[in-house]
Structure 1
């Protein structure tokens, strides 16, 4: 059963960039997804059915990424491509692993959170909702932190926020994503999205302002996203947790670990 799920997720990972307007450049064992216009800057992934990549293959893709001035990022599932970690590290990349989790088919959803609601493309809080995760992920983990409403207000002054808001609004309007947020006193404290492709949906970007953590907001947002994904026909709902502590929280929402999501990128040092 797990092998079938991992195969379905591999098809999903290959389809998502193409659905988002990216083209795939063939590097044999690896495919580099290149976004031609606006939108997310994608990664390179193993080519389905191809042999394992070598360090030389990884470096060839990195050269092309530098040429295109896009992130030198690689993503894959460890169980599907077990040799890629060693190849990426040999090519000089930093590799980190994240629990890959799938929602149990018979999982009972948590009770709806009173502060959580679904946002549409014209919602006045959409700009804040697409900004909160960046503040959350700048201080990863589940511990309380300093960034709160004041820091969010400051971040909203960034000129790039409007471009991100407009892009997500178009995705919402065309059904390429769904978004939920925890809102209290008019302030977005947590938000996240789900991205559907066929009968598979991935929960992505669930982040809580560090000052608002440990209130069940991320669990409430996740539950709302799962509900909407299922309403849209999702038979498989999955996500990648930031770490084991975060994975335990998702476990309370009915997710179980099926593998390990891998990311390779240049070291921040």
Structure 2
């Protein structure tokens, strides 16, 4: 049930960027071609046809985006085989972690850093800058800030870690707008100058507690590497499944030379 709830959340999170291509809901960002903002979620228990996969690929190519999916294989167990046959290749398999909000563990943080929720544009600009720098994205733009405003408008939360000596934001994270009590903790980021000070764990713990206070009953996240997994484990997150990111590079499309 939880894994299907994650899919329902991901479809909901697509919001006004959602597009349906056969048995897939696709999130497109017309301003940003970065993979994390352009992906498909399959219908549950999907038995895809070749035509279904072709329609999915065409929808991405029409928008000059790389065809890709982010989904829980357990919810659509027949899909991966069909995608591999069409030339898709896994980008990564990531642990799906959860933490009951009331079971979050307090995380010690450098006393020179203050962690709290933010809503104002000046802080959101700094949060966007920290996130983009941490994930090697271009300089923050108005679109990045508008995306964070959208998180808040949908009932999500944005957190910032502030260096009390300079007043600058040095860490950040967010919870997406919840769907049926389910939401994702994402975008946990720390400036290189302030790493190894407990900031990522403190931001994650704060968001998890604040999510519970906002009525969110199930929080999940998908760490990108083992180091991040260890940070989240220290504040109470544990593995309950797996998320697959899989895409079709142009060179691997059917009929295209490798």
TM over 0.5: yes
Deviation of 1:94 after TM superposition, in Å, equals 2.9
Are 1:15 and 2:8 an aligned pair? no
Is contact 2:45-2:77 (8 Å) kept?
A: no
* Gap regions ≥5 residues in structure 1: 140-154
Corresponding residue to 1:31 among 25, 40, 44: 25
* 2:74 match: 79
Q: TM-score, normalised by structure 1?
A: 0.78
Q: Which is worse superposed, 104-113 or 183-192?
A: 104-113
Q: Which is worse superposed, 61-70 or 80-89?
A: 80-89
- Cα distance in structure 1, aligned partners of 2:103 and 2:53: 39
| Alignment RMSD (CA, Å) | 2.9
* 2:95 match: 99
- Cα distance in structure 1, aligned partners of 2:9 and 2:147: 21
Alignment of 1:117-196 (within 5 A): 117-122=116-121, 124-138=122-136, 158=139, 161-172=141-152, 174-184=153-163, 185-195=166-176, 196=178
CA 1:92–1:210 in structure 2 vs 1: closer, same or farther (change >3 Å)?
A: farther
Q: TM-score, normalised by structure 2?
A: 0.81
Deviation of 1:89 after TM superposition, in Å, equals 2.9
CA 1:168–1:105 in structure 2 vs 1: closer, same or farther (change >3 Å)?
A: closer
The secondary structure found in structure 1 opposite 2:215 is coil
The secondary structure found in structure 2 opposite 1:10 is helix
Deviation readout 1:214-246 (Å, 9 max, x if unpaired): 211110110111121111101111111112332
The secondary structure found in structure 2 opposite 1:257 is strand
Deviation of 1:80 after TM superposition, in Å, equals 1.7
